[in-house]
Structure 1
Amino acid sequence: MLHIYIISNDQELEQMLSRTEPPEDCGFEFTTVSSAYDLGTLPPDSAVIVDGIDSAADTLFSYDKKLVLLSDAPSLEYADDALLFRADALWVMPDVIPDRRLLSAYFSALASQMKTESDLRKQTICFETMADSIPDLMWFKDTEGAHMMVNDSFCRAVEKTKEQIYKRGHYYIWDIPEEEYEKGEYVCLESEEVVIEAKKTCLFDEKIKTKSGLRMFRTYKSPLIDRDGTVFGTCGVAHDVTESKNVKGEMAGILESLPYAVFIKDSNGTVISVNAYFNKYFGGYEPVLGKNFNEWKKRCLGYSVTTSGGREETRVNVGGEERVLIYGEEPLTDVFSEQIGTICMYRDVTDERHLERQTRELNNTDFLTGLDNMRCLTAHIGELRQADRLTFIAFDIDRLTDVNDKYGFFLGDEALVIAAQTLRSCFWGETVLRSGGDKFIVVCTTEFTDTELRQRIEKALENARRSFAAHERLSGLSCSAGAATALKTDGYDIDRLMKDSASALSEAKSYGGGCCVIYGEEL
């Protein structure tokens, strides 16, 4: 959602901009205020459009959001230089009255830029969060060996901050004198030269001298190749394998500590080891040790084994409760890289599946009002298209901003809940959604006549007005509505229905609110 704040003395500019098609996967949320001092704290992906140089104020300098100045050319002669330099964009109109097409072109370019910056910001956050979540060391270097980015695990290993590491080389980061490096067996820098030359991912076993002594890392390194084929750096992921001694004893300890049902089978498929969790889940079946696992599985688990999402899934009864297990396996190799067996694991995903179901429900529900949200509408649009007659009714609350400004958002939230309850009761059996902010959408599949539709909407507006009036601080609120209808025989253009209902709502608002406009109906 791109949040557009307009500083203007009327709603005309907002109405003009709202007709502009948003970028793909985006929506607009407009807020018009009369003064910059009314803006408050702005959310991410926001822009402030100032209608006229005279509407600008010093407080705009404190915002880090996009600032757009809309002005006719003559007024710019008297504009403050500091304000012009602060502006991210200057929309110059040929006349005092904004040109609709030029304004739409300006606004489309602004929205596209905001969408691009939003995508880049979120992609960067996703990437950095993922990198810092990796327990292994991860880094990016330029072709000279200077570190451009590292993750938290890398910082912990070298006992330095990301700021200290940035643009620094191998010797400084690992505290190794260059002359000592030359005498040692460290291959870090040399291996990167190999990767750059090969232009492909390579695997290395590298010795690194750290403050805690010499460490051995199993390292994957890859070249960073630009679109023109130029290598501009390298990246790597290193796993510390120094402590992997006494593998057999440690393996047994690890298997017992894992919260999964784990067993090991040899190269012939015979099970040679199981952990306690395996016995917890499969103790009710015949023993598996010393038997061929595939034969045992077919005999004992055959009826309960299915495939889901490309993964083998098994359902077992544990203490009278059905548990869902996902199966996975990895080869075990010896020092000569020959496979000597397989480590197999059953992971309990019962709670995850339950959480996934809850998450899907939460994702389709507005937390405050309990109504469905727009994501839910998208999910059920196919069902709605089966109706012979489809009506979209857009509602919003008049003057809710005044309540928020005067009494705070907690009271505004109460107004939203009242409106939601009213719409749910007045349109029982229909799809009632909160589309965002103070806006709601009712999708009717009932074949109302135009008269019945208007009566139903006006009843909802009256009930809302009475419900607001019952609360002293909300007594000045009302709702406005705009409706648009289409027949199945004409083909449904859902986007058009939403736009037409929104346009009708805007027209209702232009009459002062508290009323209903049906799109295409003469007033």
Structure 2
Amino acid sequence: MYQRLLKIFILAQDPQLESILKKLRPLEQFSHEIICQPHANGARLADCSVIILDSFTSNSSFIKKIHSEKNKDSFLIGCFTTENLNMLAEVHDILDQVWVRPFAEEKILSSFKKIMNGIKESEDASLTQRYLDTLIDSLPDLIWFKDARGSHLKVNNSFCKAVNKTKKQIQDRGHYYIWDIEPEEYAKGEYVCLESEEIVLNKKETCLFDETVKCQDELRKFKTYKSPIFDKDGRVIGTVGFAHDITDLQNLMIELKILMESLPFAVMVADRDKIITLINQKFMELFSLDQRDLAGSRIDSFIDESRKFTRSKKWIIEQEEENTLMLSQDTVLKIHNEPLLDIFGILAGYIYLFVDITLEHSHKNRLLMDANTDHLTGLNNRRSLQDFMRKTPCQHSTALLLADLDNFKEVNDQFGHDEGDRILVAFSTLLQQIFHADNLFRLGGDEFAIVLPDMKKNEAPCQYAEKILTGFDSVLLKQFPHTRVSVSIGIAIDVDDSENFGELFRRADMALYEAKNAGKSAFRFWSHHGADP
């Protein structure tokens, strides 16, 4: 976000240091301007980030003068020889680094790189601090950071306004001073701020409190979130608080509305009769509806009569085993509903949360697709076929074609597995030109299955087998003329509604065996009398 020019001033009689430092590439977001001259006349030291004294280092008064003129955040480096190192006793406390002549280029570059990294870390930290200040000062709610002892380290403008004090007055001060309350008055009142801090420190987790606070002689009610702050070792070193003034809220519904609007997902609230009473802004944006369109309507009023779409047709409704999903062109929502019970545990209504699970759903589908897809050919794999057979009954007139490549092992042995893979991919492409991808399965190796539902006549699967053989001869044999590869096909069909896929596979396999024995590059149709040509 920032671009920083580092001005580097070198006071030297020769350009050796300048030549060395020019070899060092600036860090990201930084550029260098190196100024090398034999005197300090005209040098604007206050504008320099790094000042290197390679001359006059035998004069401690001169070094101190330079130190007094430089910017407080700039680095001051002194270069010494073994003869004038004794001067360090007078100036070591004002120098950031000491370089010794004769210079070792590698050490100089390493030392200067550390300075550059230090400047960048300081710049990044300053920017992060400005990010934080801008963020918290832009919010209307009270925000504060405390150390473990309860001293305020940072607050936002809203906090200062509430207590009528400046940030400087609040810095490092405790609760009683900031809120203008005496310990005795705190003990008598309904104040819980200090106690809630202890709860957060002990529980080491975010907690929500209802707190009463005295603001300029006026009691205010706050809904306050407080969270522990941990150091890198996991120890609690303080707390951060976020307080929302709810003094002027008239009833629970208004408070609920505030909570709903702060949620990152759509929310709908209905009474016990499932009449909509409240929706949040996210809901209106998602479904292009207004509060006035739904208030007083039943919760299914924006659902199509088929219960498969919203009335706008922009969302599809799917029912999974345990969840109800809503799908649009680029978003997937999971509907989570919970009953709302009153103080006596009696049903008072319902709350519906429409949670965006687009990434989760996409990831799940991608994993499922990977698990059920043959990575070489892109066809469904054996696992996919097993799922299909488990979920789908073997219906009447379902045909099964088993296709097996002839002499495929010979191809792998003579021309290598890469050539074999190319043949498998080419054959898979041929199958996809003839059949829908959902009907195709690679069982492994050179064996493929084609499931064809609703084959009323035996001629239909035979015609498909002919297409495979013809396509193989016209396409694959031309692509791979150096091989003797061909394809044999076994066909079986369920004709009496009593067969299962296991029996259908057994029969198709027998027909395939007959096709192989008949000289290959052929198909056979299973019948009660054996495999027919």
In the superposition, the TM-score normalised over structure 2's length comes to: 0.48
In the superposition, the TM-score normalised over structure 1's length comes to: 0.49
Which structure has the larger Rg? 2
